[in-house]
Structure 1
Amino acid sequence: MVILKKMYLSFFLISLCLTACKDSHNKSKNNQQKKLVDTIETTTKRDSVVKKSHLDKDPLITSKNVTSFLSQYGKENPETKAIIHTRLGDIHIELFTDTPLHRANFVLLIKSGYYNTTCFHRVVEDFIIQAGQSDKSLTAEIRNNIGSYRVPAEINNYPHHKGVLSAARRWNMNPNKESDAFEFFIVHKPAGLHHLNKEHTAFGKVTKGLNVVDKIAKESIDKGEWPLNDIDLNIELK
């Protein structure tokens, strides 16, 4: 009888441990976004750009063809204006023409429907709001189909004022300051983030909707800087 009680106790403790581990896993997205407050690093409608027939084939873009692919894509897709729709309002943006690879990449991700599966996943008031990631399976699927690559840096003289659209990037083991292909941020700090000048590629700016940026920046967040209520994106080109 004593042995049985010990066995039941062991099973109970094991079950409790597994439950705790599961809860910890479910909260992983809340912790994986935690960053130093002075850096912006990466975290982790489908049209002709990403066809269903392409799912089992090689990705569209690789580290070898990224420059040639985006250069050609940019010539064929010249859009420079877009609207980011959110539950808190619309943010109008203009893409810079002197960062052609970043502009083309952003347009590609809009047209592929990628951003419409993502959200603002990192929000830090008086710093930045960062988007381009989610924990949805569709996000990962489209991302895999487009490819695993970085966008070559196109560092310009545009300062990181409030409202600037800039590319996130890895700081470690990235001497050429290549940009993450999928994640971007909008500067919220009123005085700007000028320590990021010449470090991140600024490739656009907010032309209307800074009040919406303010609203997003004031959203309640968890310890991982992820908004407690998701702020999904829906981006359209103008």
Structure 2
Amino acid sequence: MQRKIHFLLALTILFLTSCSHSGKTEKQKRPVVLIKTEYGDMKVLLYNETPQHRDNFLKLVKQGFYNGLLFHRVIPEFMIQGGDPQSRDAEPGQMLGNGGPGYTLPAEFRPGFFHKKGALAAARLGDQANPEKRSSGSQFYIVEGKVFTPQALDSLETMQTQREAQDIYHQLFMKKADSVRILQEQGKQIEYADLLDRLEKQAQDSAALHPFHFAKQQRETYTAIGGVPHLDGNYTVFGEVIEGLNVIDSIAHVKTDDHDRPVKDVKMTMKILKD
């Protein structure tokens, strides 16, 4: 009986050790990419939870796609952006930001990944041209951001809830487009105004049922190291800088022209350190 108990204990320990090792291995398997610039190097960890963006980024790095490209758009307390293939050997003052590999990626929003300082995210076209919020196939940005007070985050929550109400209103309005058109054609201004008021109230009531709130982790991070919270849930965050945060600051504060392009080119090269 005692031998049986010892045997079961040994199996239990072996199982727990195996699980622990598996968990560590999974964490260690997260790919790391080195981004080299004249202002220093950044090591970027890619998230396995955003596999399409991870795999695409690694593919492009392996191909040497990013080597020689520019950080073509930099804004202090906001972000540094690169990955436009048209920036390679671009003429001084040339407008950049519209290039890509010829494809886009579906959004991969994950609640735990947000726009803290050092976040790596995919650039994209705006909502009007890109309602699905699909990501550029190559352009990315790295967040510098700024530190927020709790009161500022409260205000952003209110603004985000209002934006959601506007989105709901737009959806309701489109559903009633025929009715709106008929009332306008018939010159029924009172009925027309009454319909719009009802749609607005419905949208406000719907948004109020589920007001926007930052998670505890987001609040703690944005009030400590900072970031760009208003971008959360709108752009795919697929990695983060784990070494070289100071490099982001240096690049974000270089002299730029009227289009936020650095006056002196900031080139990048990349290589995979761990995949």
- Which of the five TM-score ranges fits, normalised by the shorter chain? 0.5 to 0.7
User: How many residue pairs get matched?
Assistant: 154
Cα distance in 1 between the residues matched to 2:120 and 2:247: 14
**Alignment match, 2:5:** none
**Alignment match, 1:90:** 41
Cα distance in 1 between the residues matched to 2:261 and 2:101: 25
Cα deviation, 1:181-204, whole Å, max 9, x if unaligned, reads 110000111321111111000000
| Aligned with 1:221 (options 256, 259, 262) | 256
Task: Give the share of equivalent positions with the same residue, in percent.
Answer: 38
* Paired residues of 1:129 and 1:187 also in contact (CA < 8 A): yes
* Paired residues of 2:74 and 2:80 also in contact (CA < 8 A): yes
Tell me the SS of whatever aligns to 2:67: helix
**Alignment match, 1:150:** 104
* Paired residues of 1:79 and 1:237 also in contact (CA < 8 A): no
The reply to whether residue 192 of structure 1 matches residue 199 of structure 2 is: no
| Aligned with 1:104 (options 42, 48, 55) | 55
Cα distance in 2 between the residues matched to 1:216 and 1:137: 19
Tell me the SS of whatever aligns to 1:117: coil
The reply to whether residue 180 of structure 1 matches residue 131 of structure 2 is: no
| Aligned with 2:72 (options 121, 142, 145) | 121
**Higher Cα Rg: structure 1 or 2?**
2
Cα distance in 2 between the residues matched to 1:164 and 1:91: 12
| Aligned with 1:136 (options 79, 83, 88) | 88
Cα distance in 2 between the residues matched to 1:137 and 1:127: 26
Q: Which has the higher helix share?
A: 2
Cα distance in 1 between the residues matched to 2:260 and 2:82: 12
Cα distance in 2 between the residues matched to 1:87 and 1:128: 18
**1:114 offset after TM fit, Å?**
0.8
Cα distance in 2 between the residues matched to 1:98 and 1:84: 21
Cα distance in 2 between the residues matched to 1:177 and 1:102: 14
Cα distance in 1 between the residues matched to 2:89 and 2:264: 19
Which 5+ residue runs of structure 2 have no aligned equivalent? 1-28, 91-99, 147-225
Cα deviation, 1:128-162, whole Å, max 9, x if unaligned, reads 00011243379xxxxxxx95111011011111101
Amino acid at match of 1:187: V
Tell me the SS of whatever aligns to 2:87: coil
* Paired residues of 1:79 and 1:107 also in contact (CA < 8 A): no
Amino acid at match of 1:173: A
**1:126 offset after TM fit, Å?**
0.5
* Greater length-normalized contact order (CA 8 Å, ≥ 6 residues apart): 2
Cα distance in 2 between the residues matched to 1:176 and 1:81: 28
Amino acid at match of 1:136: R
**Alignment match, 1:237:** 272
* Paired residues of 1:122 and 1:226 also in contact (CA < 8 A): yes
Which deviates the most, 185-194 or 96-105? 185-194
Amino acid at match of 2:105: V
* Paired residues of 1:160 and 1:187 also in contact (CA < 8 A): yes
The reply to whether residue 165 of structure 1 matches residue 84 of structure 2 is: no
* Paired residues of 1:153 and 1:177 also in contact (CA < 8 A): yes
Runs in 1 of length 4+ with deviation above 6 angstroms? none
Cα deviation, 1:4-37, whole Å, max 9, x if unaligned, reads xxxxxxxxxxxxxxxxxxxxxxxxxxxxxxxxxx
